[in-house]
Structure formats: structure tokens, C-alpha cells
Structure 1
């Protein structure tokens, strides 16, 4: 279930955005301004917590007076914009106090529609970097959306992206000062490979970059030809990326991302972005209690297998005492289940399970290889079947009884796949209950629901909440996606027409309701680490 894993990623790495067309700002939510208020907007630039407040009348001035200007286009009703606000203000204060050439600004895109249209703002918040007063070709912000990440990204953009190392001492001091350093060894600085190196350095802002052309530095670090070397204060110490013909940005990025992580990495809020951003799609997670000696012994066995699968599987340790209950919940685990293993493929989102008790290195190796070979079956999470699952008008479906209920050849089954924290699911709940009441005595129609955060099925992915699907009677195991309005009348018409909606005029279709399904964006913005789980997919 890709959306669930993305929600977890977003909760940890702060990466989500609100689509402007799908957002639920009402007329009351969106601020209005009169012609008189518009006239009051002068060329003066006011500040709100060190962030410049821009509008159509002072935007050009702000560009002309600041060499580097990061502008946030936001909507007052957008929850992600509100979550970003303190981080954005903090970053603005840091740069302002440093008397930097970089400043931060914001534009209320719901008021400044002309500016929003000019810069193609279709979701919130959108951050764009303007350089040298130019309105054209602004750079989309791609860094981490917290104060530190914003400052890092901007400073890297303002340059230099890589420190020139003019002496052996310069190189050694840089390597000694950071846990990971990437140094480009080039014979001269005016070629395409150097350009690619600098472009890569601008994108990977949490790694320090250096560059040199000095033969003495080549000799000191035993580099014979043009190369990129990653130095790290852990594992093997250094890894070399040889440049045979042409330096490719994607290949260099993958090399850096894969080798800047420890062979076995401890999960934390600080390194979550690196883990989720890894080019390695198979992640093996060891859930352990660091205070238990027997668990530490399993960790040592776990470490022993990491080198054999380097580049194929990312090895991650999660201490169940460290407060990551949301991660445990995602995998259907509790602290008492430790030690245990879960392997997840971040591309397919298939999960694989292995109990950690009584394991040997051989067992682990066979499990890892079996997942890679496709001989190990995925693990599907499920709650226990409630004793009264079929006693109420809306039946309760879990992973363990899904097949039996959904594909009952004698029934037409209508199922809502929901998340307990989802705002739209909560809005739908009373309507779904009424639908259940309406059809509770119908001999061939079943109304049901399934908590998709605690139950998984192998037949399809749930990519939004709520997702509603219709399973018609018969032996063909058909699945029909429901994309109509979420009201009792439309649901009823859909059921009475055996899983089809009759043709309607355009005026009768509430497009906003059709499109407001909560969709997780793989690009994205800001979710608070301690979010109250009210984040909905159309907000993401």
C-alpha cells in the first residue's frame, strides 16, 4: 500500500503538498480583499517574523534588491503551509542575522492570483528561488523543509557548492571535520565532468563536497586518475567512483546516496530522509530492544550479513524504546514483538516477515536471498476477525476475511477502505452507516468497511483514503472502482444499477467531491513530525 508507506515517510521526512484544485478552502476560509485594501498595497516591503511579505506592487522591488530571494507561495487555510511557517521564519532569521545575500519572502497566493498564475502555482506551499532580480527561470526548492534544510539548500545554491582544496592540509581538514566528504579529483576545472560534479553538490545538501586539481592531493590519497572519492568516518573509510568516459549525474548521485549511509544504520528522525531517499529499494528493518542483551547479539548477527548484500538491501535498526510507535503500527507490530524483522520494498511496497528469535546467520542470509530471488512470499498484515464482524449493518472486513467476504459469489459487496485519522473518512462515516442501514436486509448487497492502516490485501493497492470499491457477485472476481459523489443518493443509484452510474449532465456532477479523494503526492512538502494524524490525502 504505497500511500501508507508514503504517509509514514512524509511524517518523518517532511515532504507533502496541498493541491490547489483539490484543497478544501471555502469562501469563508479564503481571505478576500476589497479595492480599497488593494490600493493600500504600496511598494514598501513589510516583514512578518523576518519574512518579507510580498504582493503584486512590491514583488519587483524585492527581486531587484536581493541577489537570492526564496519565495513561498502559500494559502492561509493550508495545513502544510501552517506547519512550514515556524521553520521558514526560523530560517529567515538565521540568514538575516548573518547579513547574508539570501532573504526569504512569502506571497499569499489566494490573494495574489496574478503572481500565482505567472509562476504556475498549483499546490501549496510552493517555494521558488529567484536569482539576480530575474523573474524568469526561478529554481524550485528541492531541499528539506525545515529550518536547517532550508538554510543548507540556499547556501549551497549561493555557492560555492564545493570547497576548492588548494593544499594537502585543506583536504585533510575537510575530511577530518565531517563524517562524510565527497571530493572530486580533476585535472582541470573547465570541463563537463566538473560541471556535473557541481550540479550534484548543489542537490545533495547534507553531504560536504570538495574539489581539487593539485597533483600533491592526488598523490596523498592515492588517486591516479580523474575520480570522485567518498571519505567517511565509518565502515570501510573510503569508496572511489572512477570516471571512465563521462560523469553522469544520476550515477554519481546514486553512488553518493548509497555510500553515505552506514552499512547498518540506526533509524532516527535525523536520518529518515536519507533512508527513504536511498536508491536501494529493499529495506530490512530489525526491530529490537537495545536494553536486552539477547537482542544485541541478534544485532551483531544482523551486521554480519550487511556486507554481503551491500547495494542490494539497506540494513536498518529500529529501537522499539526510541519512540517510533507509528513505525511499529505501520507494520502491525508492538514493542513485545521484538526482536523481529520486516523487509519492505519501497518500490512495490511488498513486505516480508521473519521472526528474530533463535535465528542464525544462515537463516538471515537465506531469507534475504529468498526475497531477492522472489521465493519468499510477501507478508500481509491483518487484524483478528471481530466476533461481531457481520452483526451490524456495515460489516467489518479485515485481511483474514477479505477474500471470503469480497469475493463471495452470491453477493455484491461495497467496501470502504479507510484510515482512522482521515478527515474525509470521518465525514463519510455517517453516510456509510445510513447506506448500511438501507441495505442491511437486502439479500444480495453487502455494505462493509476495512481499516487499511491495519489490514492489507494482495489483490490491489489502496492509493487514497477513502477508497471505495465494488465487488460484483459471480466467479470472475471483478473489482470496480467507485469514483462518484459520496452521498447516499449516488451510492444507492450505483448499487441499484449493479455497479454503474447512469449518465448525468455536467451540472449534476460535483467535480470537487469526485476529485477530493486524498491523494498522496510523491513530490511534496511539510508534515509535522508530531502531526495529529489529521493529514488527508488531498492535503498531501
Structure 2
């Protein structure tokens, strides 16, 4: 299902991630959709637009030998030197990538930095990469179905590599490697050692167990290997139990912010549920109000909390920062149900504001997003108080809140040209006019295929300008939304027939002749076009390249009367 991964966006995840990196994806042809919910990977396969029939370039291919070359401290591997690399390196982390993958390109500088630092600090730990789009034999051997995939090979064992589960940043990669190859979580056998451990980390997670050889302790140790965002330790010392007032086996998270600690008690059977503990750590290792930045983004993206409250604040305005302080009581009340995220409009990527229809002058303002339903909610700036924020949050939890849909103002000359200009505020009144057949292109200004379509669409408008019952229109769907229509790809074209008939998703060729035949036939695609392959003609899911026929997975068609 295409939307689960892109909004799983986590919805805020890809909302913000896409807003901050969609320009690169549009240029590189990468997609953030895959079969598992990982917004940092692209499905394996041919490069976008690759038909498999193109003639190879004349440049001679360099002979592959067992010699190992390096690029920025990263070993370049292929089928001929892979075995040698495994035999010569005790710990080898290998990135399987594709040159055209946007997420691979985004990872490249962080991966290279981690490779250089590890080479200097820990010579036994090396990083390598494999062009899996070219090295199909290796890709098949290690079941590479998305890009990038990272696998750790230990002591030359190619049968059971360890999947990388850390953060894709230099610190995240280094921390994960050291944790996976080191002695594991330390044991704290005194109150002093526990105090030093807690004081030396911003977030410290300690497992308190009566028996360090128990199944629960073993599960805690295993879990700690994969959680690179926090530091872990264990203790069975009565002295440590007493100092921190722990009465029974528990996992305690100590932090240098908010309330200072959070406790997770094990059930009476003493078993440790790793999933629940991971969720507990994810929720409590973040501040009550989380500043959105590169360091916090992955924790936000991967959080199991599905409601996100975005506080747009200008940190240079004192009255707005005081509102932020007041909002902490609301965040505490809904902790575990919602994530509260601070977006400083004085220091934020402009695309983030554009996506939410917020300008710097709108601050302070709030947008609340449900990752499950994709619905957004808002409070006007004039009515924003900690009380109104709490009320909105409760209404969303109760399911009684009214969704918010962003819209530009209606242009004064919206209906003067041959192509009518629609926005969120006038889309419904125009598209659902029962006396008109309305043909609408939903586009994004940055979409290259939308730009290529612009002249054709203008000519179509000119051609039907004299038809009283036909309207040719367009709407910037990146800046406007509607309750009845969720646009997931650009360009997306819809036909709204007169008389309350079923709305039609146009799937034919995008040229003047086919558009005209479609309109002249009353919104019916010419028979020879219905089953045709319209080709790789769109920028995909709000910034992600996919074939046109895949973009048809949109909400079920409805009639004008139903809408």
C-alpha cells in the first residue's frame, strides 16, 4: 500500500522529511516508498526511466580484480573482491546502494565521515559499499530489495550478516558499530558507578534486575545492541536499587530534561517485552516539546505515537516563547498520546512552512496531524492559548475535531484566462457546479512533468474557451487541499462531470488530441487508450517518481452529489 510508507511519511516523518529533501528526490528520481515502513529506503529495481533497452555507453569498463579500491575511506566492493574484503576485516559494514537512489545520495556524506573516523579510531571496523544495481549476484545473495541496505559482516561470515538498525548519521553509525562489536551494556555494581554513568549521558537507560542471568536481562542486553539513540547499562546491586528507590525489576530512563526520569516496571512474571520497552524509551527519551532538527528527526519519524502537534513559534519574540512554556503542561497531559514538536519559523527550511500553509507572519500557530488518517487540524493565531491547545488536542483524541485544509486566497482574476485558477477555497464550488463539466489538473510548481504539461493545458483551455458547459482548470495541490480529494501524485488530472455523475480519474495520454477526444466523448477515454501504457510520465507521490498507472491508487471515485 503506497500511502503507508510515505506517510508513515511516519505522517510527520515524511511530511517534514519530504519538505526538507523533496527537491533532491525530484532531481535524482528517488522514491521513499518500499514494502516495509522505512522512509529512508527506495525499492530495488532499475533506475527510474530505465527500460532495459538502452544501448550501453562506449566508455570501456574497468576490469574488476581482487584489488580493493577506496573512495573517501569507504572500500568499493564487487563480486571479485568481496570475499577478500571479508577475510581481511573483522568487522565490515557494507552499504548496498544504487547510484540513482536519492536516499543513497543523502547517506553518502554521513557514511564517508563515519568511515574516516572509524578507520582512525577503530581499525578493526571498516565500511564498504556495493553498487547493488550492477552487482546483481551479490544483491541476490544478500536479499537486497531496497536501497540503501546496510549489513554488518563479522569475522568473514557471509551467511548471517547483521542488519543495520542504527541512525543513519555519522554518530549513529559509529555508535551502532561500537555497540555491536563491543562488550555490550556495562554492569553497574556500585552507586558511584551508576551516578557516573547517568551524569555522563543526556539520556541513560538502566535495567534493574534481581538476576543478571535472567531471560529479562538477556533480552535487555540484546535490545540495547540495536538502540543507538540512548546509552544502556544493567545493575543487580542492592546499593544501586536503594539509591534510585527501585523496588523490583524495572527499566529506568534517566534524562537531563523535563521530569528527569521515567520508570517501566516489569510484569509479575518478570518477562521483558522488548517492543513495549522500545516504545517506552522512544516516548520518554524525547523532550515534552521536541525541537525539530536533524538530531531529533529520526526519533520523530519512527515514533509509535501517531498524533503530532506542531507548534510554529518565532523564538526571537518573547511573548511566543512564553506561550511555548505554557504549552508544556498540555504536552505533559497528552504524553504518550501525542508528540509536541517545536518548529522555529525564524530558523526552518521554507518548504516545511509551505507544506503546512504557514508563513513566518502566522506564528504563533498550531497544526495537529494524524498519521493514521492524514487529517490536519489547526488553531487560528488569534485564538491560540494553552487552553485552546488543550481543547483541540482533546477533541482530536475524542474524534470530534473539524479537520483543517490549507488554501491560498482566491485570485481576483481566477476566471479571466482560458484556464481557471482554483484554490482550496473555490475548488468545491467550481468543480461541483452541476451545470458544468470541469477538467482539473492538480499540479506542483516544482514538478518537471507538470511544467512540461503547462503549454498543452493552456492550449486545451483556449480550445474549449467557447464551450459554456466545459471548464478547464488547474490547482496548485502543493499549496491547497480539499476534503473530498487527496492528491498523492503530480500531475493528477480529474474530470468532474455535470449532473452529479461519478468523478473520473484521467489516465490517458497527456496530449492535446487525447484530452480533446476525452472531453468530446463526455469524459470517456478513447477505447484504444483505455488499456494503454501511458509510460513513466509523472513525478510520483508528491515528490517521488513512480509509473503513472501506479498513481491511480487514489480514494474511491465518488459522485458530485456524494461529495
Per the normalisation by structure 2, the TM-score is 0.83
1:241 aligns with 2:264: yes
**Structure 2 runs not aligned, ≥5 long:** 22-31, 33-38, 548-563
Q: Which of 518, 528, 535 lines up with 2:540 in the alignment?
A: 518
**What displacement does 1:20 show?**
4.4
- The residue aligned with 2:365 is 340
Select between 238-247 and 310-319 the one with higher mean Cα deviation: 310-319
Report 1:521-532 matches (<5 A). none
Identify if the C-alpha distance between structure 1 residues 297 and 108 changes in structure 2 by more than 3 Å, giving closer, same or farther: closer
Q: Which of 141, 151, 164 lines up with 2:164 in the alignment?
A: 141
Q: Which of 428, 432, 441 lines up with 2:453 in the alignment?
A: 428
- C-alpha distance in 2 between matches for 1:449 and 1:54: 49
Q: For residue 76 of structure 2, give the secondary structure of its aligned residue in structure 1.
A: strand
- The residue aligned with 1:9 is 17
1:162 aligns with 2:170: no
- The residue aligned with 1:354 is 379
**What displacement does 1:174 show?**
1.0
- The residue aligned with 2:333 is 308
- C-alpha distance in 2 between matches for 1:154 and 1:498: 62
- C-alpha distance in 2 between matches for 1:227 and 1:316: 29
Q: Which of 98, 105, 109 lines up with 2:128 in the alignment?
A: 105
Count of paired positions: 521
CA deviations over 1:438-481 (Å, ceiling 9, x no partner): 444444443322212211111132222233333233225x3333
Q: For residue 369 of structure 2, give the secondary structure of its aligned residue in structure 1.
A: strand
- The residue aligned with 1:54 is 77
Q: Which of 417, 422, 426 lines up with 1:392 in the alignment?
A: 417
Q: For residue 53 of structure 1, give the secondary structure of its aligned residue in structure 2.
A: strand
- C-alpha distance in 2 between matches for 1:165 and 1:29: 62
Q: Which of 111, 115, 139 lines up with 2:138 in the alignment?
A: 115
- The residue aligned with 2:559 is none
Identify if the C-alpha distance between structure 1 residues 494 and 108 changes in structure 2 by more than 3 Å, giving closer, same or farther: farther
Q: For residue 400 of structure 1, give the secondary structure of its aligned residue in structure 2.
A: helix
- C-alpha distance in 2 between matches for 1:57 and 1:270: 38
**What displacement does 1:255 show?**
0.7
2:365, 2:384 within 8 Å by CA — same for their partners in 1? no
- C-alpha distance in 2 between matches for 1:450 and 1:56: 50
Q: Which protein, 1 or 2, shows the higher relative CO under an 8 Å CA cutoff with sep ≥ 6?
A: 1
1:22, 1:512 within 8 Å by CA — same for their partners in 2? no
- C-alpha distance in 2 between matches for 1:25 and 1:106: 24
**What displacement does 1:389 show?**
1.9
CA deviations over 1:122-172 (Å, ceiling 9, x no partner): 443333333332333434434333322222233333344422223322221
**What displacement does 1:258 show?**
0.8
1:480, 1:499 within 8 Å by CA — same for their partners in 2? yes
Q: For residue 164 of structure 1, give the secondary structure of its aligned residue in structure 2.
A: coil
2:421, 2:473 within 8 Å by CA — same for their partners in 1? yes
RMSD across aligned positions (CA)? 3.2
2:186, 2:232 within 8 Å by CA — same for their partners in 1? yes
**Structure 1 runs not aligned, ≥5 long:** 521-534
Identify if the C-alpha distance between structure 1 residues 487 and 18 changes in structure 2 by more than 3 Å, giving closer, same or farther: farther
Q: Which of 187, 212, 220 lines up with 2:210 in the alignment?
A: 187
Select between 244-253 and 48-57 the one with higher mean Cα deviation: 244-253
- C-alpha distance in 2 between matches for 1:490 and 1:142: 49
1:343, 1:353 within 8 Å by CA — same for their partners in 2? yes
Q: Which of 490, 509, 513 lines up with 2:533 in the alignment?
A: 509
**What displacement does 1:35 show?**
12
1:472, 1:499 within 8 Å by CA — same for their partners in 2? yes
2:508, 2:530 within 8 Å by CA — same for their partners in 1? no
